[in-house]
A and B are shown apart, each in its own frame.
Chain A
């Protein structure tokens, strides 16, 4: 089976070996995201939308009365 050059045999390693090779770092976490919007009474569509980095409080405008902003992620992309 594994003589085919298009098949790579797997090699089971431990998570510690993976960490030592720089392939993995322990940790992670649940999704955390906060968003703010404002609008006019009588219109359920927001006129301004902001996204907030929970850790730093940094805000970024995503949308403002027809102007379009593109969210590219905060530094380190961690909220």
Chain B
């Protein structure tokens, strides 16, 4: 009887369901912890040492030019693999660990599995089994906050143990993560032709809008409204109409904590807008023309 245990690390910008490529979530440069769609629904294909997803732009070195604090950077997948070379069946009973670790190679930044008990009663000879777990990380004083080398670590103890795998992840052009303080939290304003706000994590975020037309004129600068397509508009300092570059009607996240259903406030609440502290606390929320709650942010579209 022999068991070969290995761990594969993949650090990537996005995850896309192999079977249904419309199910995709982008982490790179998107707002913290936005709701995650049914990424692993209808999965019928699993590739060994990769899992049921396509990892977008896998790498171990990332330049964060253009990032703001409060943006996600990447997602890290650990894949534990045991192969039974025979001759008889074997039983697995292991404790699994994985985490993001700080630049000192010691301090845990984000704990994924912490002793999760994985068992397999009788793995036949000539078979393999894998376990996969993914953790995202972003720019913040409590996560990535400097140009340096971070670590992803995974291991397994018990029967059959796998020695720790330590992968170094290099970051450059990391923005300042200094918070503004609580006094400006919730401010929303038009600055130049952009929509700015101070999010619930106390960082100024700037939404660069999509140009619509020059109709309003400078006397209307600073006006904001929502149209029948549920788009949030504002008038820039140049008098032009701009709208949000992306939006999503809030839904129940499949793979993270948060609301367990969408919010239908009703059309009587249409137009309400606020700096929200749901999900990752870096987005703006508003009630759209249709009465549902919509989310927008200064990061890129997580669902594109």
Contacts and interface: CB of A to CB of B under 8 A. Distances in A.
Contacts of B300: none
Interface residues of B, number: 81
Interface string B201-245: 000000000000000100010011111100011010000000000
A23 B256 contact: no
Contacts of B258: 25, 27-29, 78
B196 interface: no
A71 B260 contact: no
B46 A13 contact: no
Contacts of B285: 18, 23-24
Contact of A31 (B136, B224, B277): B136
Interface string A13-52: 1110110011111111111111111111110111001010
Contacts of B133: 32-35
A32 B255 contact: yes
Contacts, number: 219
- A interface majority secondary structure: loop
Nearest to B123: A38
Nearest to A54: B116
B63 interface: no
Nearest to A37: B46
B186 A77 contact: no
B200 interface: yes
Contacts of B280: 28
A6 interface: yes
A28 to B, nearest CB: 4
A39 B40 CA distance: 18
Interface in B257-295: 257-260, 263, 265, 269-281, 285-287, 289, 293
Interface in B85-123: 85, 110, 112-113, 116, 118, 120, 123
B269 A73 contact: no
A14 B186 contact: yes
B225 A2 contact: yes
Given A1-B216, A30-B256, A78-B257, A9 B273 contact: no
Contact of B48 (A24, A46, A63, A72): A46
A24 to B, nearest CB: 5
Interface in B107-159: 110, 112-113, 116, 118, 120, 123, 126-136
A15 B200 contact: yes
Given A26-B278, A28-B281, A40-B126, A8 B257 contact: no
A6 B228 contact: yes
Given A12-B274, A24-B277, A1 B220 contact: yes
Contacts of A79: 254-256
Contacts of A62: 40, 42-44, 52
B254 A77 contact: yes
Given A8-B226, A32-B256, A77-B252, A37 B273 contact: no
B272 A49 contact: no
Interface of A: 1-2, 6-15, 17-18, 21-42, 44-46, 49, 51, 54, 62-63, 68, 70-73, 76-79
11 contacts: A1-B223, A1-B235, A10-B271, A18-B274, A33-B39, A35-B132, A36-B118, A46-B130, A71-B38, A77-B253, A78-B258
